[in-house]
A and B are shown apart, each in its own frame.
Chain A
Amino acid sequence: MFKFSATTPSSADLAIPPGWLTLCHACDLPSRVGDVPAGGTARCPRCGSVLYRRVRDSLDRTLALALAGLFLFAAANAFPFLALKMQGNVTHTTLSTGVRALYEQGTPIVASLVLLTTIVAPLLQISSLIFVLAPLRLGRRLPGQARVFRLLRRIQPWSMMEVFILGILVSLVKLLDMAQIVPGIALWSFVLLIPVLAAASSSLDAEWVWRRIGLAQ
């Protein structure tokens, strides 16, 4: 009989054996990371920067959040996020129409930056998490996982969904006395996507993943 648990990592595999050596990324002090309890954080004894954070059920949690994020991201892009009613006219806006309007007005640099930070980077962030974690959850390895996981590190600072929400809020206030604003489905998807993405990146145990997918130990 096929047993699902046989191919998935058991809870015993989930902890990194204590006593591993690491260098603080901020001050370079070598430390040995001891037995960090689930939910605990190891900090550099010299400068206080975080050395390692252990999250309970990191793999399951992060993968579940990334999959939820993918659905929300699809909804956020497929539906209009705001509609504007002005003198009987209704304008619907999706995320990509904003980028297109900026491009057509002759500011392609700004348009590209908005495209990168609100569409390309979040999509890469979510899909690379799934690409790396889903095979691990099924007890498999795929070629290119290490390369994609490195890309995730690089892309993360440029994924700015939470800032975009603040931008929407400010825009709404500015338009209040000009027209009537109707929030769309995509807006609610955005509002849900932000805590989901934040939770996905904070529940990721990168050191544990690297120990699974790394080319050498």
Chain B
Amino acid sequence: MTPSAATSSIEDLASCHDCGFVVTLAGGAHHAATHCPRCRAAVHRRKPDSLNRTWALVITAAMLYIPANLFPVMTVISLGKAQADTILSGAIYLLVHGMWPLALIVFFASVVVPLLKLFALTFLLISVQKGSRWRPVERTKLYHVVEAVGRWSMTDIYVVTILVALVSLGNLATIEAGVGAIYFAGVVVATMLAAESFDPRLIWDRARESNG
């Protein structure tokens, strides 16, 4: 495979998404389905249906984001009185208690990161669809950032899990998971899948086409 890959034209080359092996795709079709000779994964020139899938997941995440922030992620019932905590009030709680470095991390992980991912992916999608040639290197770096920071939004889900498990004494205090946690988990999963389905090579395709 290697000698033929080396001699054929650049346009016919594609790399396997799973193992990076370079294969030659004949015909130049965009989604020619070939199997990688090295690892047997399906080889696509670009991720299949990248723009449609990413849009669908970004819109899903944006819709889930609203109830995720409005509804409480957990309710603390202590001595007969219940106190509901949303994502934002959880971060503010830490700030009020003087834990501002931790408050900053939580605010960043659960409020800034999901919003950053939604805005950054929307921006990347629109710029690719408009065939933008504007700063492809920086847009590629933005994509790498979105890919890397997304996981940190899971922090709040873990906090709810740990608190629910620990404070289950029943007599003095109980902590219950709220519906907000379900929506918030949905936001994290949808944005992670959206980042995964976006193909950064599209940024460079459009930049090249517009170059003429």
Contact = CB atoms under 8 A, between A and B. Distances in A.
Tell whether A and B belong to one assembly.
yes
A199 interface: no
A205 B5 CA distance: 23
Interface string A122-164: 0000000000000000000000001101100100010010011
A47 B168 contact: no
Contacts of B176: 105
B161 A114 contact: yes
Interface string B102-146: 100110010000000000000000000000000011001101100
Interface size class of chain A, counting residues whose CB lies under 8 Å from the partner chain: 35 or more
A217 interface: yes
Interface residues of B, number: 71
A117 interface: yes
Given A47-B137, A174-B159, A216 B38 contact: yes
Nearest to A154: B18
A167 interface: yes
Contacts of A100: 165
A210 B39 contact: yes
A27 B167 contact: no
B134 to A, nearest CB: 14
Interface in B74-118: 78, 90, 93-94, 97, 99, 102, 105-106, 109
A107 B181 contact: yes
A110 interface: yes
A173 B97 contact: yes
B155 A49 contact: no
Given A178-B173, A207-B20, A47 B136 contact: yes
Contacts of A177: 97
A171 B106 CA distance: 11
A170 B105 CA distance: 10
A67 interface: no
Contact of B14 (A23, A102, A105): A23
Contacts of A99: 161
A6 interface: no
Interface string B1-23: 11001100010011101111110
Interface of A: 20-23, 25-30, 46-49, 82, 84, 86-87, 89, 91, 93, 97-102, 105, 107, 109-111, 113-114, 117-118, 146-147, 149-150, 153, 157, 160, 163-164, 166-171, 173-179, 206-207, 210, 214-217
Given A23-B20, A48-B140, 10 more contacts: A25-B200, A25-B201, A47-B137, A86-B173, A110-B157, A149-B19, A160-B154, A167-B155, A167-B161, A168-B162
18 contacts: A21-B6, A21-B22, A26-B143, A27-B200, A28-B15, A30-B13, A91-B166, A102-B164, A105-B176, A114-B161, A150-B40, A157-B192, A166-B152, A170-B106, A171-B163, A179-B167, A206-B19, A215-B39
